[in-house]
Structure 1
Amino acid sequence: MNNPVRRPISTISTFGITYLKQHNPYMVVWWSAVFPGFGHYLLNQYLRATLLTITEVIINTLAHINEAMIYSFCGEFELAKGILEPNWTFGYLAIYLIAMGDCFRSALYQNKLYHLASLENKLIPCLKISSSEIQYLEKKSPILGVVYSFFFPG
């Protein structure tokens, strides 16, 4: 009797390859501290990451945080205090802390799921054929990746 996989370690779809792997939760929080939503991108939580990133940009703009930072770097602290919108600034702080806490929690939970999935020891699918396209895994050269990154950063 063939047992279905309860916890797949990866999936291939039209939108890409999504997989579970062991994450250092502090590294994920660091990326979220750099820019809210980036830690979620690292965890393959693309929808949540995009919503957090867009929300951060909008609230950052409405609170005038970047302008206040520029003034404070120039030593114009009174201008920096005067330009900040307090309600939006508290909203920015809330989004910032929620993003960091959520990605830390998600990283810990995904680590548990990865451990359980690896115990099942099922094969990783290497091919998916759908009506819209063919998805497959292939071995790539790291040297070629470095060359591409040199000419096309990001």
Structure 2
Amino acid sequence: MKLIPPARRKRAHLSQLTTTHFHLRHPLVVAFFSFSFPGFGNLMQQRYATAFMLILWELFINTKAHINTGILYSLLGDFEKAKAVLDERWLMFYVAIYMYSIWDSYLGSVDMNKLYLLADREDAPISSIPNGIVLLIRCDEQQWPAVEQLLRGHHALGLAGVHDKQPNR
């Protein structure tokens, strides 16, 4: 009997809280998402910690540099007032964060595409979720069975509303 060696790379990571899977993404599409708002490209790649850090950092720097006010005055045609309201030091920092966000999401997409191609060549299986939780609970006469399951922690895979209610006997 010929044993199949385990795959070195995974196609997907399944857990009770999230599902992350690799598939081919065009790097320019991911870069465009980061171009539209820093952090959105990383959010698209399911790199949540980096994405939320970049989003919050962009909002903070945007507020400190008064970029939105400067854009408003520019659109109204009052360019001198727009120059006066912008803080140049924070504006330069904003440009650096903006470019880093685009660069990071582009390179992350290229790296994830490489990992996907390697996992696809190995024909890597998608592993199942560890059986450490109970998905269904028997609820007899509870008013809110879905809320009860949610509070008990049995909400994996979005099955918070799935319940087995017994009829009154």
Normalising by structure 1, we get a TM-score of: 0.82
Structure 2: which 5+ runs fail to align?
134-152, 159-169
2:150 corresponds to: none
Aligned ranges 1:1-154 → 2 under 5 Å: 1=3, 3-131=5-133, 133=154, 135-136=156-157
Tell me the CA shift for residue 135 of structure 1.
4.3
Tell me the CA shift for residue 107 of structure 1.
0.7
1:152 corresponds to: none
Larger radius of gyration: 2
Residue correspondences, number: 138
Report the structure, 1 or 2, having the larger helix content.
1
Relative contact order (alpha carbons < 8 A, sep ≥ 6): 1 or 2 greater?
1
Normalising by structure 2, we get a TM-score of: 0.75
Tell me the CA shift for residue 134 of structure 1.
6.6
1:36 partner letter: P
Conserved? CA contact 2:12–2:20, under 8 Å: yes
2:167 corresponds to: none
2:103 partner letter: G
CA distance in 2, matches of 1:136, 1:42: 20
Q: Deviations over 1:100-125 (max 9, x none)?
A: 01111111111000000111112223
Conserved? CA contact 1:25–1:107, under 8 Å: yes
The alignment-based identity, stated in percent, is 34
1:144 corresponds to: none
2:83 partner letter: K
1:4 partner letter: P
Conserved? CA contact 1:127–1:135, under 8 Å: no
